[in-house]
């Protein structure tokens, strides 16, 4: 199905199609068609892809690079990442020819004020994610009208019913892999001969920050190793009202500065 969104001026946010309209048009589209539609809808300067450079990230980055390797990629360097993840980021940049990868770090003053002892991940993981992921991403996405992420329905929990396109409260959010299966992801890896995350062979099926990531046992859900033993299943950038609040705060501050 060739479902590509109509051309819209990237300078006029009010003229953008609604998320519902785009979702209806793209619900049966391929990942490459969805990325191309996002690019056509808002333009490269207003579109970003957010990647953790985790165990499955190479597939979405490959699809994006085939459409346009210069689409900005936002990578959240939380200060708690595995060295293997940082090395994998550099490997994929070189392998795929990515031209605009932006490594975003938490604000130093916030870390000094709220996590000076670096133990917030243990006492309050939600707060840790907020200062190391939610706030930095909201800041990084400030110039953009739409973003692309790699969530899949087969990952379950809050991801089981995600649409192809949604509204995050501030901007359009494209989920090109919403419909894909594990088998289809593996086919992309094999066909493109993509390098694997160095930790995947050691039983890390989903890799986030070091203190909150563990190996996954046979038969477990692939994200079972994230925040093991806690009710927490998401970092907050996809389902947390705090992300919307942070994004709106940054947007408001930008408007004030340029009046």
Buried b (16+ CB within 10 A) or exposed e, 208-232: bbbebbbebeeeeebbbbbbeeeee
The residues carrying an active-site annotation are 235
In the block, residue with structure tokens 């992300």: 243
Among 52, 34, 60, smallest CA distance to 89 is for 52
**What are the CA-CA distances from residue 256 to residues 2, 162, 250 (Å)?**
41, 34, 10
Among 28, 220, 19, 238, smallest CA distance to 150 is for 238
Among 177, 239, 209, smallest CA distance to 54 is for 209
Are β-strands 172-174 and 165-167 bridged in parallel, bridged antiparallel, or unpaired? Answer: antiparallel
Using alpha carbons only, give the angle 18, 22, 23 rounded to the nearest 5 degrees: 110
**Torsion from C-alpha of 116, 122, 125, 127, nearest 10 degrees:** -30
Q: Are 250 and 139 in contact (CB under 8 A)?
A: yes
Strand partners, 74: 50, 102
Strand partners, 165: 174
DSSP designation for 17 = P
C-alpha to C-alpha distance for 208 and 196, rounded to whole angstroms: 15
């Amino acid at each position: 199905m060739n479902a590509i969104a109509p051309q819209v001026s990237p300078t006029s946010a009010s003229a953008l199609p609604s998320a519902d309209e785009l979702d209806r048009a793209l619900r049966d589209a391929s990942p490459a068609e969805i990325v191309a539609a996002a690019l056509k809808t808002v333009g490269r300067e207003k579109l970003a892809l957010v990647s953790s450079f985790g165990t499955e990230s190479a597939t979405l980055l490959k699809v994006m690079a085939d459409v346009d390797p210069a689409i900005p990629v936002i990578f959240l360097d939380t200060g708690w990442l595995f060295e293997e993840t940082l090395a994998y980021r550099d490997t994929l940049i070189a392998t795929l020819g990515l031209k605009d990868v932006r490594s975003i770090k938490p604000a130093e003053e916030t870390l000094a004020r709220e996590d000076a002892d670096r133990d917030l991940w243990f006492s309050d993981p939600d707060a840790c994610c907020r200062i190391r992921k939610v706030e930095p991403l909201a800041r990084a996405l400030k110039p953009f009208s739409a973003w692309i992420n790699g969530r899949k329905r087969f990952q379950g929990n809050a991801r089981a019913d995600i649409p192809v396109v949604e509204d995050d409260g501030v901007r359009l959010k494209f989920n090109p892999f919403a419909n894909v299966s594990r088998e289809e992801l593996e086919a992309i890896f094999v066909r493109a001969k993509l390098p694997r995350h160095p930790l995947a062979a050691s039983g890390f099926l989903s890799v986030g920050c070091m203190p909150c990531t563990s190996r996954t046992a046979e038969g477990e859900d692939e994200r079972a190793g994230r925040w093991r033993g806690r009710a927490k299943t998401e970092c907050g950038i996809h389902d947390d009202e705090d992300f919307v609040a942070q994004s709106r705060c940054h947007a408001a501050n930008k408007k004030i500065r340029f009046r």
